[in-house]
Amino acid sequence: MIRYRLAMVEAHRVLGRSLFERGPATPKKVAVVCGVLALLLLLIATAALHMGSEPVSREAVAEVLRTHLFGGAGEPTVSDTIVWRIRGPRVLLGLAAGAALAVAGVLLQALLRNPLAEPYVLGISGGAALGAIFAVLGFAELPLLRPLLAFTGAALVTALVYGLSRGRTGISTERLVLAGLILATLLWSAVALVLALVPNPHLRGLTFWMMGDLSGGGNGLLPLVLGIVFGAAAVAYAHARRLNLLMVGEEDARVLGVDVERVKTAAYLLASLLAGTIVSVAGAIGFVGLLVPHLVRMLWGSDNRLVIPAAALSGAILVVLADAVARTALAPRELPVGAVMASLGAPFFILLLRRA
Amino acid sequence: MLQVRDVTFAYERSARPVLAGVSLVVASGELVAVIGPNGSGKTTLLRLMRGLLRPQRGEVLWEGKPLGHFSPRELAQRFGVVLQEPKLGFPMTVLEYVLHARFPYSNGFGFESERDRQIALSALRLMRALEFKDRELAELSGGERQRVVLARALAGEPRALLLDEPTANLDVRFQVEMLALIRRITRERALSTVFIAHELNLVAEFADRVLLLKDGQVIACGPPHEVFTEERLRQAFEAEFLVDRHPLSGAPRITFVGPIPDRGGNPSGERTNGAASAPKFVLQRER
């Protein structure tokens, strides 16, 4: 009994220290923080399965999951269709979108050494959207081209923003935010223009997609999207220590033996890939990459060995939660999840800008 | 031993060279100061010595081998560099920052070992910065940050130290303490140390040798009592100085007298007949 008590006290101490301490990441701290976040994500994702315009009881959700995950004979029921065919993919897509956008934010922030960098704010999502629309217009029969062209659009805009915001003394916040704002406005106008002018049956319904929409559940691309997000996040994690040094300064990183150009290229490509992929299937969900990394750093410091996995998990939690709100707030009508995120994120962005 | 051999460097091909024909040898255990007016090429020289810039002519050698012979990781292990104050947009604790110096000893992944941690802590202890190891870098005062930055350079267990104004932002007592500490570490660990400074009297007191630069050229290089002469200082800084001996240490003591007035364009209206009769005491009280 006493031994049990001591173990509990010790566990409490480790948990408390890891959960509420900044500073260099340690394996223990990463394990504790990510473990707690993963548990939370699991709870919220399961809860999201039974929330919606058509309520499905917890027991029914559990039954559907048990049937599909562990095998078992069962007649296809209505709850089965709702939970496994409609809500499941949607929750998974939200999870992927949140994780991807949060990690893309972390990468862009390290690359530009600016906590305000984020795919939506910098117009990168706009570039990806335009790329995705071209794919739909020109090659509707090749769904794989959609994420590919979205990635190309995202990469082009990232390069453009980087070039535009870089002055002789490095990258200034003002130039960065202005360049992003202008590009975002321009690109989203182009998207709206194409949607309004081109009478293409494939484009119908894309207005909703433009504002961030998870209802498609990936349109058959879900396994690919999950694979890309997981892979890109893993590669990003492999660069975590180098990104830590890059965040202090390019010359500083070089002095410590970092191949700065390689790390910058990796961060740039991975961020574009993550943002492009998500936009192509879920439209523009803004501010995740801004809110999440900031909160994670505020709680646990800036060490990317912790920030990257913690931001991925927290981003997933946030978007799954936001989508649950979008589905239920005005049920049976649905709101675009991007609008829900923007109403959360925009005030936060203003707050950050005032502090920068 | 760090050797700079007849180095010439320009940022752009056509531009006037920032450094022209500069040579310098820094032995182990030696503390060399680089001084000169703003824009004389001091920081550029430091960057060249670390291999961050490549000279158009001449070469930089470490232990007799050109810097190009070493991998980026090897150079990072051998050189402790303080270039400028870090500008951080992200929260970061002091210990986290100092631990960055252990990166060249890692395989690029994973976490710092207990040994890395001990080395970082002892570097902080040496700089008397241990008590703020858990504080945010952004919350430190200028002087505290300067000590942390130097602690990070030392935490890399370097063989050479290249320091750009390690005494900037420090009050006079900390300036003396900082230089005394740098000199002690240079001797104890047999480092080749080069630092840039503007406080001529401190340089005269602490440096083994002094390199005096002007417009990218070496005006003088040698022990303080050879470099700090009224003639050479006037040439470098275009100002009048008095040089005598410090009554306690015997090192050269430099007193700033005043800028050399422009010929013909003297603001006070006094006529001067060239440098020979330049007024010795411009700093006297205004009438």
Of B204, B219, B237, the position where a domain reaches its end is: B237
Q: Say if residue B26 is in the same domain as residue B42.
A: yes
- Indicate yes or no: CB of A252 within 8 angstroms of CB of B83: yes
**For residues A284 and A129, is the Cβ–Cβ distance under 8 A?**
yes
Query: CATH number of the domain that B207 lies in?
Result: 3.40.50.300
Angle at A268 between CA A266 and CA A271, to 5 degrees: 100
The whole-angstrom distance between residue A310's C-alpha and the CA centroid of its chain comes to: 12
Q: How far is it, in rounded angstroms, from Cα A170 to Cα A182? A: 20
- The yes-or-no verdict on residue A82 having pLDDT over 70 is yes
Q: Are residues B47 and B127 in the same domain?
A: yes
Are B185 and B275 contained in the same domain? no
Residue B94 CB-density burial (10 A; 0-12 exposed, 13-18 middle, 19+ buried): buried
A168-204 pLDDT, tens per residue? Answer: 666 676 788 788 888 989 998 998 888 888 777 766 6
User: Tell me, what's the pLDDT at B270?
Assistant: 47
Query: Is A238 in the B-facing interface, judged by CB distances under 8 Å?
Result: yes
Q: Based on the domain organization, do B134 and B10 belong to the same domain?
A: yes
Does residue A316 form part of some domain? yes
Q: In what order do the strands lie in the sheet with B65-66?
A: B19-26, B2-9, B57-62, B65-66
Based on the domain organization, do B174 and B280 belong to the same domain? no
Cα–Cα distance for residue pair A28/A90, rounded to 1 Å = 33
pLDDT at B30: 96
**Do B101 and A256 lie within an 8 Å CB cutoff?**
yes
A252-294: per-residue pLDDT in tens? 899 999 998 899 889 989 999 999 999 988 888 888 998 999 9
CA A318 to chain CA centroid, nearest Å: 9
Contacts with A115 from chain B: Cβ below 8 Å: 89-90
pLDDT at A80 over 50: yes
Q: pLDDT tens track of chain B, all 287 residues?
A: 999 999 999 988 777 899 999 999 999 999 999 999 998 999 999 999 999 999 999 999 999 999 999 999 999 999 999 987 667 778 899 999 999 999 999 988 889 999 999 999 999 999 889 998 999 888 888 888 888 999 999 999 999 999 999 888 888 888 999 999 999 999 999 999 999 999 999 999 999 999 999 999 999 999 999 999 999 999 999 999 999 999 998 899 999 988 876 654 444 444 444 444 445 555 555 54
Cα distances from B11 to residues A274, B19, B20, B56, B196, in angstroms, run: 37, 10, 12, 10, 20
Q: Is residue A177 part of a domain?
A: yes
Structure tokens at B186: 């240079």
Q: How large is the average pLDDT for residues A298-324?
A: 94
Number of structural domains found in chain A: 1
Residue A242 forms part of a structural domain:
yes
Please answer yes or no on whether A256 and B99 come within 8 Å at the CB atom.
no
Residue A115 lies inside a defined structural domain of this protein: yes
Burial of B175 (0-12, 13-18, 19+ CB in 10 A): buried
Q: Average pLDDT over chain A, rounded to whole? A: 85
Q: Could you tell me the CATH number of the domain that includes residue A338? A: 1.10.3470.10
Could you tell me the sign of the dihedral formed by the alpha carbons of B39, B41, B46, B48, in that order? positive
**B219 in the same domain as B88:** yes
Instruction: Identify whether the C-beta of residue B93 lies closer than 8 Å to the C-beta of residue A24.
Output: yes
Interface mutation vs chain B, best among A22, A112, A256, most B CBs within 10 Å: A256
Q: B130 and B180, same structural domain?
A: yes
Taking contacts as CB-CB distances below 8 angstroms, the residues of chain A near B86 are 248-249, 252
Rounded-to-integer distance, Cα A26 and Cα A12, Å: 17
- Are residue B246 and residue B162 in the same domain, yes or no? no
| B252 and B123, same domain (yes or no) | no
Proportion of chain A in helix, strand, coil states, percent, rounded to 5: 75, 0, 25
pLDDT at A7: 76
Q: Say how many domains are in chain B.
A: 2
ipTM of the complex: 0.85
Torsion of CA A143, A146, A148, A152, to 10 degrees: 160
Residues B164 and B230 in one domain: yes
Phi, psi values for residue B78, rounded to 5°: -85, -30
Containing domain of residue B121, as a range? 2-237
Strand (E) or helix (H) holding A261: helix A260-282
Would the CB atoms of A24 and B73 count as touching at under 8 Å?
A: no
